[in-house]
Each structure stands twice: as structure tokens, then as C-alpha cells.
Structure 1
Amino acid sequence: MFDSRHIKTFHAVVTAGSYSAAARVLGYTQPAITQQMKALERSVGTPLFTRVGRRMRLTEAGEALARHAETILDSLTAAQQQMSSLTRLRAGRVRVCAFPSASATLIPEALARLAADHPGIRVELLEGEPPDSIRRLVRGECDITLAFTYPGLHEQVPEELVEIPLMEDQLTVLMPIGHPLARRRAVKLADLDGERWIAGCLRCRTNFLHECAEVGFAPDIAFTTDDNLVVQSLVAEGLGIAMMPGLVLSFMRHDRITGRALDPASRRQVSAYVLRDHLRIPATALVLDELKAVAARRVGC
């Protein structure tokens, strides 16, 4: 294995023509140059120089190494520059996998903050619902996952992951503006027995069924879809009502629907997940900080 210091010194000897000249260029003593060249020759297992009178000549091995030395040093310089850019947050790539309502709310604001201060950091966006998004993180397909959990549905987080709580997202009921209960500020889930429902992703649907069972009824689910905009359109057309996370309310696109909080309140926990070792990667840690800042601002609103 080559020592980069020895390669640098060897290149200086070849360029300067002697140990003493190389010592002057590098600011070393001549004995230090000699010791480094001896160490390099031991490493490669053969002499690199021969003396002819007072002159030094490269051996065949020395000539071969000389042809590679400059390339090796250039590559080391490029690697050092890239490492410096990554650690000083001038460059880097972070892959973030998030569920749709987080992708439409938390992610854009966090990326805008990131772009303003660290334009060299690139973020690749992936979309996925938990628990599949958690499995993608474990498989190494992303660096950060945004996922949600519900209080009544206990799930084990893989031990190699760290969970970073971001915010609690209050659940709401979407209904047409002409619905009799739309006049209330909040609605009781039990009062919605007999309604037709539009249900969301598997995890949300499981929680929805659990909460309905807790208050004593089985909901009539007319449609299921993972697409929040489709849910809104179905509600707008009077085809049912839906239990939706509060994050969705910030990008409602239909003026014929409204959202009402549940009484008592029902919430889901939104968290970021990351591999434990990745917390020490500067770009990943920076993106997590921006997500935490955006989430905290939403909670404070």
C-alpha cells in the first residue's frame, strides 16, 4: 500500500532531479527525503533509483511509478477537494422518501430553506407510504424517510433506525360545505355513523376502522384511494366524506368542501427516520435540521 506522502516526495525527487533539490522544494531535510524513498522502495519491493556517478537514474520500476505519480496526486487532490465540499456543505446528495401530504407541505418549505443557504446540496425526492417507505430506508434506497404512526397501532421500529419526532398532525373530517354537520367547529366520530366514506392508504384505513370500532360502528367505505386530490374530488361530488390528516387542509383545491376537527381530537405522529450512522453525514443532518425547523413552525402556527 502506497503512502501518499511518499508518492508526493517521489514525484518531487523525479521533478527536481535529486534528493537535495527535492528537499529544498518541499522544505524537508535531505535525510528525511532519503528515509522516505527507502520506505517507498520497501513498500514496492524493488529499487526505484540507481546512482551513476553523482547522478540518479530511475529504474524500470521507478519509471513506471513516475508515469502514475502525477495521476495519483491529482486524484488525491480531487478527492480531498470533494471531501471538503461534502463536509463543509458545499455539495452533497440526500435521498428523501416521504408520504404524499408531507411531500406537498413539509418538503417544499424545507427544500426552499436549504436552497437559500446551501445551493450545492441536492435532494432527490421519492414517494412512499409507511411501512414500505421504512423498508426502503433499511434497504438503503433512501437516506431519510418521513412516515407517520397512529397511537392505537403499535409498531416496532428496526433497531438500526433512529426516529426523530417532527410534529403531531390532527385528523379532520372532509365533507361537502352543505353537509348538516359542516356548521359545527368540530364533529364527533360517533355522529357520522351511517355516512358513506372514502378511505385512504392502508395504514390510514386501518386506523380509521380502529377508531370507528372504538366508538361502536363499522363504516360504510364506498371508495379507497391513496391520492389525496382524488379524495377531495369524490367528497366535492357528494360521494362520501373522509377522515384526512390536517396537513391535507393546506392544499385543498375544492371550494365545495371543508374540514372539521374531530372531538375528541385524534392525531397521528409524523417523524423522520434515518439510519443511526447517517446522523453523522453533514448533508443528511442538515436536511433533518431543516425538516425539524419547518415542522416546529407549523406546530407553532
Structure 2
Amino acid sequence: MFDSRHIKSFHEVVRTGSYSAAARSLGYTQPAITQQMKALERDVGTPLFTRAGRGLRLTEAGETLSRHAAAILDTMSAAQQQMTALTRLHSGRVRLCAFPSANATLVPETLSRLASGHPGVRVELSEEEPPESLQRLVRGECDIALAFTYPGLEEEVPDEVLEIPLLEDQLLVLLPTRHPLTRRRTVGLAELAEERWIAGCLRCRVNFLHECAEQGFAPDIAFTTDDNLVVQSLVAEGLGIAMMPGLVLNFLRHEQVTGRALAPASKRQVSAYVLKEHLRIPATALVLDELRTVASHKIGC
């Protein structure tokens, strides 16, 4: 393995034609250059120079190394520039996996802020509901996962993963605009025991059934769908009512449906998840900071 300093000094000796000239160019003493060339020859296992009068002549090994030295130094310089760009946040890649309503609300503003302040940082976006998003994080398929949990239904987070809470997203009951309960500001879940329901994604559905059981009833689920627009369209047609996160209604609201807060209040926790060791990666830390800033301005209701 060659010492990069020796390669640089060797290249300068070849360029200037002598140890003394190379020493002046690099700011070294001539004995220091001499010692470096001896060390490089020991690494190579053969002489690199021979004396030709007062000058130096490259041996066959020296000519071979000389042909590669410039390329080696160029590659090292390019690597240094890229590493500097990464650490100074001029560039970097972060793979972000988020659930649909986060992709529609938190992520666009986060990407906009990054594009404005750090245009060289590239975010690759994918979509997945939890717990699949967390599994992708552990497998190394993404750098940050956005996911949500419900009180009483939290999952155990692996030791190598750090949870960063972003916001509490209030759940609403979604009613057709002509429903009599739309005249009230809040609705008790137990009051809806006789209604027909449209259920959402698996994790939301598990929480919904859990909350209904806490209120002493089993809901009549007429339809299930992961598509929030379909849920609202079914509600608008009077085919049932639904429980929906407020974050969804921040970007998608059918004109024929009305959201009302539940009493007692029901919320889900939206968090970012990252491998602990990745917090030291500047681009990843930057994206997390921007997500926290954007989330602090969002109201999940």
C-alpha cells in the first residue's frame, strides 16, 4: 500500500527533475524528500531513479509508477472534493420512506426547504405504510422512515433505531355533510355505535377496533380501503362514516364530507425513525432537522 504523501512527492520530483526542486515546491527540506523516496522504493521493492550526471533518470519501475501517479493524485483530489461537499452539505443523498399522508403534507415542504437552502442534497422518496417502512429501514433500504403509532398499540423499536417524534395527529370522525351530528363540534365515539363504518389501512383499522372496544361496542364495518379519497367518497354518498387522521384532511377533503373531533380526543403519533449511527451523516441529520421544522408548523386536525 503506497503512502499518498510519497506519491505526491514522487510526482513532484518527476515534474521538477530533482529532489531539491521538489522540496522547494512542496515546502519540504531536501532530506525529507530523500527519505520519502527511499520509503517509496522500499514499498515498491525496486529503485525508481538512477543518477544521470547531476540529474535523475527514471528506472523502468519509476516510469511505470509515473504513468499512474497523476491519475492516483487526480482520483484522490476528486475524492477529497466529494467528501468536502458531503460534510459541508453541498451534496448528499438521503432515501426517505414515508406513509401516504406524510408524503402529501410533511415531505413536500421539507423538500422545498432543502432545495432552497441545500440544492445539492438529493432526497429519494418512496412510499410505505408502517410497519413495512420500519422494516425497510432496518434492512438498509432507506435512511429515514416516517411512520405513525397509536396509544396503547406501540411497537417495540429495535435497539439500533432511534424514534424522533414529529407531531400528534388528531383523529376525526368523517360524516356526510347532511348528517345531524355535523351540527356539533365534537362527537363521542360511543354515540356512533349503531353507524355503518368505512375502515382504512390495517394499522388504522386495528386502532379503530381497539378504540371501539374501549367504548363497549364492535363496529359494523361495511367497507375497507387504503385509499383516503375512496373513503371520503363512500362517506359522501352516505354509505357509512369513517375515522380519519386530521393530517389527511389538511390536503384532501371531499366537499360533501365534514370532519368532527372525537370526545375524548383520539390521536396518533407521527415520528421519524433513523438508525442511530446515521445521525452522524450530515445530509441525514439535515433532512431530520427540516422535517422537525416543518412538523412544528403542521396541525394534524
TM range (shorter): over 0.9
How far apart are residue 300 of structure 1 and its match? 10
Structure 1 residue 2: deviation in Å? 1.3
Q: Distance in 2 between matches of 1:38 and 1:224?
A: 76
Distance in 2, matches of 1:18 and 1:283, equals: 45
Q: What secondary structure, in the 3-state scheme, does the structure 2 residue paired with 1:258 have?
A: strand
Give the SS at the match of 2:297. helix
User: Which deviates more, 246-255 or 62-71?
Assistant: 246-255
Aligned to 1:27: 27
1:103 is aligned to 103
- What is the number of equivalent residue pairs in this alignment? 301
* Aligned: 1:163 with 2:163: yes
CA distance in 1, matches of 2:198, 2:83: 50
Find the residue that maps to 1:166 and give its secondary structure: strand
Structure 1 stretches lacking a partner, 5+ long: none
Q: Which amino acid aligns with 1:223?
A: F
Unaligned runs of 5+ in 2: none
Task: Name the structure 1 match of 2:237.
Answer: 237
| Counterpart mapping for 1:113-192 below 5 A | 113-192=113-192
Q: What are the within-5 Å matches in structure 2 for residues 1-301 of structure 1?
A: 1-299=1-299
| Separation in structure 2 between the aligned mates of residue 249 and residue 23 of structure 1, nearest angstrom | 70
Note the C-alpha offset of 1:271: 0.5
String of CA shifts for 1:41-71, please: whole Å, max 9, x gaps: 1222222112233332212211111111000
Structure 1: how far apart are the matches of 2:94 and 2:290?
13
Q: Distance in 1 between matches of 2:111 and 2:4?
A: 39
TM-score using structure 1 length: 0.97
Instruction: State the alpha-carbon separation in 2 of the partners of residues 246 and 201 from structure 1.
Output: 15
The letter of the residue matching 1:193 is A
Equivalents in 1 of 2:65, 2:225: separation in Å?
Answer: 64
1:220 Cα deviation from its structure 2 partner? 1.2
Query: CA shift at 1:253, angstroms?
Result: 3.6
SS at match of 2:162: strand
The SS at the match of 1:105 is: helix
Coordinate RMSD, CA, aligned: 1.3
Structure 1, residues 197-233: CA drift from partner, whole Å, max 9, x if none? 1111111110000001111111111111112122111
CA contact (8 A) 2:134 2:145 kept: yes
Q: Give the percent of matched residue pairs that are identical in Structure 1 and Structure 2.
A: 78
**In structure 2, what residue type is equivalent to 1:105?**
T
Tell me how far apart the structure 2 counterparts of residues 39 and 300 of structure 1 sit (CA, whole Å): 66
Q: TM-score, normalised by structure 2?
A: 0.97
CA distance in 2: counterparts of 1:12 and 1:219, whole angstroms: 81
